[in-house]
Chains A and B, each alone.
Chain A
Amino acid sequence: MSAKGLDHDSINENVKRAQYAVRGELYLRASELQKEGKKIIFTNVGNPHALGQRPLTFPRQVVALCQAPFLLDDPNVGLLFPADAIARAKHYLSLTSGAGLGAYSDSRGIPGVRKEVAEFIQRRDGYPTDPELIYLTDGASKGILVPVPQYPLYSAAISLYGGSFVPYYLEETANWGLDIDNLRQSVAQARSKGITVRAMVIINPGNPTGQCLSEANLKEIIRFCHQENLVLLGDEVYQQNIYQDERPFLSSRKVLMDMGQPISKELQLISFHTVSKGYWGECGQRGGYFEMTNIPPETVDEIYKVASISLSPNIAGQIFVGLMVTPPRPGDISYEGFVRESKGILESLRRRAQLMTDGFNSCRNVACNFTEGAMYSFPQIRLPPKAIEAAKKAGKVPDVFYCLKLLEATGISTVPGSGFGQKEGVFHMRTTILPAEEEMPEIMGSFKKFNDEFMEQYDDHRGYSRM
């Protein structure tokens, strides 16, 4: 009989196997150092408000009023809140049938908000969609094809549920592009190992890689999934974060619909969105949704059943989703302020994306693709053989070793590329582009100093024998 009910031998194996680097070793070390009083710059997670990005005013006004509806009865409420926020709060409260933020809603989300999401999708893509196939959520073995590098939620979730992670490698030299041949190869390999490949994840714009998929790429992917009988899982949470004009965001659903029948009626697609990213950055609200296309009704029912066990997503988060898809319109009192705030954030993100890319590219042994979208920079760090040796001696994976040294020297907390997956022998580091614009020059300067000294220390000096 084991010593205690739950110990190392008796815990679920899948849990032991699962890893989630975004809050892994580097983050824990950074937290330790922070406790010791060191100034840490957390660039490990896409958490904009933690780095000084201000929440948008209008949504916070609306939700505050929903939180405390008795304010709406107070004659002085207009002194603190603009009329359109007051009206919008009343609108959302009415959608909850007066129960407000405190009652469970339908497990799929408040019907009125799901309708607003459907209307948004129609405006965005030009194709109607059914609110019944949109489920609001609390934030966001069969083998699943996942891009490498990938956001490690996918590998962790697959691990936790005992599935098989089937990687397909993105091509760094082609700006993290997707090669269909790589894809076919990955599937063939998996099948030869007896793995049934069920689904394919695309993250568009990419995390950590930032690339925005072209229309041609998306079509290829859709055709591929259709041929291979895979469900396409479209993680589109960064759809508002686009920093170049050549490849605007195209939703998988729009491209699918554009391709017409039979594929538009057959390819199974689930698309995900959230209030945590974009120019909203409301990570703490845990608000999001997924939209189902061509999923059989019985399966939708089963998904509903599973959703109902969790009763319902938090109401305030659902209202944030509604506000995200239905922002203030021209003519609304809050419109100009809202546009100013959101444009300000997006333009600043665009500038920071460029700053960081250029900054990394100016460093020795560092090569960085441009951040076309999302919130991250993912430079390749060409670690010299001596550094790799030193890492081995220290019992650390090479990029973990590098990132720990970076942390200790500069307080910059990143996530080593090994947390996201990369080709054998190639190393990266993920940072966010979120630190405040004013602090960027100092941060990049600090990084360059550390990096160039590190490389000086570990590089083989040309023409010199060390013997």
Chain B
Amino acid sequence: MRKFVAERARNLITTRLSLSSSSAAPPRRHPVLPRFFTSAQPGPPPSDSMSPSADSPSPAVTLDTINPKVLKCEYAVRGEIVTLAQQLQQELLAKPGSHPFDEILYCNIGNPQSLAQQPITFFREVLALCDHPAILDRSETQGLFSADAIERAWQILDQIPGRATGAYSHSQGVKGLRDTIAAGIEARDGYPADPDDIFLTDGASPAVHMMMQLLIRSEKDGILCPIPQYPLYSASIALHGGTLVPYYLDEAAGWGLEPSELKRQLEAAKAKGISVRALVVINPGNPTGQVLSEDNQRDIVEFCKKERLVLLADEVYQENVYVPDKKFHSFKKISRSMGFGEKDISLVSFQSVSKGYYGECGKRGGYMEVTGFSPEIREQIYKVASVNLCSNISGQILASLVMNPPKVGDESYESYSAEKDDILSSLARRAKTLEDALNSLEGVTCNKAEGAMYLFPRLHFPEKAIKAAEAAKTAPDAFYARRLLDATGIVVVPGSGFGQVHGTWHFRCTILPQEDKIPAVVSRLTEFHKGFMDEFRD
């Protein structure tokens, strides 16, 4: 879409500039290779050729004059390949049959409900009642809503001053909702949680941004991030002017984390004069899907404690675990079980309503639980939160429902439970089916998706394919992803968007298309891949 806009606007401008001597705007995209994990300066932005007229100054806001950190940051999940896919989708609408496929299948983004996953009924009942409390008193409402949803709505509204869901709340979120969430955390972990440690946010992303803003003073501040990683982290670090310090997950060992690797990268960064401030861990992993073992988690906690790093624990996939031999344990639980308290380790846990079995991406709900910081720092965190006043109330309510869903004995428990199990078991099946399918492809190896929502297969390209990509001035995985899109309508994100060991190639594909679409995905992918290998086999 945006390229289409750019084209149109450019056409308008070049028409006006037909008398001017300036040539058309130079190609503006930077090279495809990832830049986010070097501290290299961004390449010179192309000069803006949009000089309106000879005698007035050039416009104030151009690529030359906007914040260079914006230019530097990238977010591949909604990057180039998605823009191309949207174009193709427009073409299909305008001219059905113009492509060898009927529809675009967006496997680029963890957005379950865009692919027909249904919301949890109980949650939506409560949210609807909180949006329009005027109907709570009406007798007809009892015919349309379950009794426990009505009760929960009353309970929640009583926690909101004046029952005003349209008012700004406390900047950390409605107190009563935070109480509920803290209780939910305690029930999950077996260790106490303080409602005042909770900051409700519009999804987990704003919370991540807040922490990066606090931690990063200059490019001399480094944040340890897993490679591959969810590119929110690289983008946020770039936007805030810091340095991403990569630590590589071990693909041969199920994307495991070696403490020695952490140590090595930390030392290397220090030697370059970088002050490493924090460690990001994504568990279950995105895009890699591994669920960390408890031993691994203990190693990480020890490491952070010893090196005095803030542990930033992205735990948004905590409800997405598909293998019986692994379990989710929060880093807070692990820390506390090791005897480490507030004085020992600074820990931030991020949770969201976008994932799990609820998949409520569009509601923008989430929180961070912040422990082990001084009261002074807590004040500063509060101050940053207060500039945005508060997160959306409906999202806050949903976060409290996610952390305190219906219990055994509640009227809605059985239907809630059935919906939840349905979704989770389906996700597990889809993960397995797609994993097997990918592993059956020539030159493709794919680690198991133990959790989260993605598969991250490795593509071992023949030399010929690599050369063809070079000639097309694209990275091999982007080249493959583009070909895949053009042939099948399937949208995946090239591995370079997440970071990967130099010289290895991957793509990230979600497990989210509906189960009945999976056979078609598998067959289209398989057919395409065979054709690709036939074309480029050495």
Contacts and interface: CB of A to CB of B under 8 A. Distances in A.
A302 B66 contact: yes
A302 B72 CA distance: 10
A5 B308 contact: yes
B162 interface: yes
A199 interface: yes
B377 interface: yes
Contact of B6 (A18, A49, A300): A300
Interface stretch (B163-171, B325-333, B444-452): B163-171
B359 to A, nearest CB: 6
A284 B61 contact: no
Interface stretch (A166-174, A251-259, A314-322, A437-445): A314-322
B168 A283 contact: yes
B391 interface: yes
A202 interface: no
Given A64-B132, A296-B62, A296-B63, A305 B346 contact: no
Interface residues of A, number: 103
A314 B392 contact: yes
Given A11-B377, A23-B389, A80-B144, A296 B308 contact: no
Contacts of A100: 113, 119, 362
B203 to A, nearest CB: 7
A231 B362 contact: no
Contacts, number: 312
Interface string B1-16: 1100110111001000
A286 B232 CA distance: 22
A286 B60 contact: no
Interface in B223-279: 232, 235-236, 239, 277-278
B134 interface: yes
A265 interface: yes
B377 A6 contact: yes
Nearest to B6: A297
Interface string B113-144: 11010010100110111011011001011011
B62 A299 contact: yes
Interface string A1-37: 1111111101111111011101100000000000000
A312 interface: yes
B112 interface: yes
Interface stretch (B208-216, B290-298, B472-480): B208-216
Contact of A18 (B59, B138, B362, B383): B383
A311 interface: yes
Contacts of B377: 6-8, 11
Interface stretch (A102-110, A342-350, A389-397): A102-110
Interface string A295-311: 11111111011101111
A317 B206 CA distance: 17
B524 interface: no
B114 A49 contact: no
B23 interface: no
Nearest to A61: B132
A160 B73 CA distance: 18
B78 to A, nearest CB: 4
Contact of A304 (B2, B124, B277, B308): B2
A12 B215 contact: yes
A299 B61 contact: yes
A76 B143 contact: yes
A229 B362 CA distance: 38
Interface in B336-351: 346
Contacts of B52: 262, 265-266
A298 B362 contact: no
Interface stretch (B177-185, B368-376, B426-434, B503-511): B368-376
Contact of B166 (A69, A104, A282): A282
Interface in B84-123: 109, 111-114, 116, 119, 121
A282 B390 CA distance: 12
Given A45-B389, A153-B387, A157-B387, A15 B166 contact: no
A132 B5 contact: yes
B198 interface: no
A15 to B, nearest CB: 5
Which of A8, A67, A132, A313: most chain B CB closer than 10 A?
A67
Nearest to B170: A31
Interface in B357-402: 359-364, 372-374, 376-377, 380, 383-384, 386-395
A218 interface: no
Contact of B50 (A4, A20, A61, A296): A296
A147 interface: no
Interface string B193-207: 000000000110110
A99 interface: yes
Contacts of A80: 135, 138, 140-141, 144
Contacts of A435: none
Contacts of A296: 9, 48, 50, 59, 61-63
A80 B61 CA distance: 50
A71 interface: yes
A421 B62 CA distance: 31
B75 interface: yes
B41 interface: no
A353 interface: no
Interface of B: 1-2, 5-6, 8-10, 13, 25, 28, 46, 48, 50, 52-53, 56-63, 65-67, 70-71, 73-75, 77-79, 109, 111-114, 116, 119, 121, 124-125, 127-129, 131-132, 134-135, 138, 140-141, 143-144, 161-162, 164-169, 171, 202-203, 205-206, 213-217, 232, 235-236, 239, 277-278, 308-310, 346, 354, 359-364, 372-374, 376-377, 380, 383-384, 386-395
12 contacts: A8-B376, A10-B277, A18-B383, A50-B162, A55-B164, A103-B114, A199-B60, A284-B392, A300-B6, A306-B73, A311-B78, A311-B203
Given A6-B373, A18-B387, A308-B75, 20 more contacts: A12-B216, A15-B380, A47-B167, A52-B162, A60-B132, A61-B132, A70-B121, A97-B114, A105-B362, A230-B60, A296-B59, A302-B66, A305-B73, A305-B74, A306-B239, A309-B75, A309-B205, A310-B202, A311-B78, A314-B362
Q: Which 7 A-B pairs have the closest CB atoms?
A: A284-B393, A64-B132, A102-B113, A49-B164, A314-B364, A103-B114, A315-B362
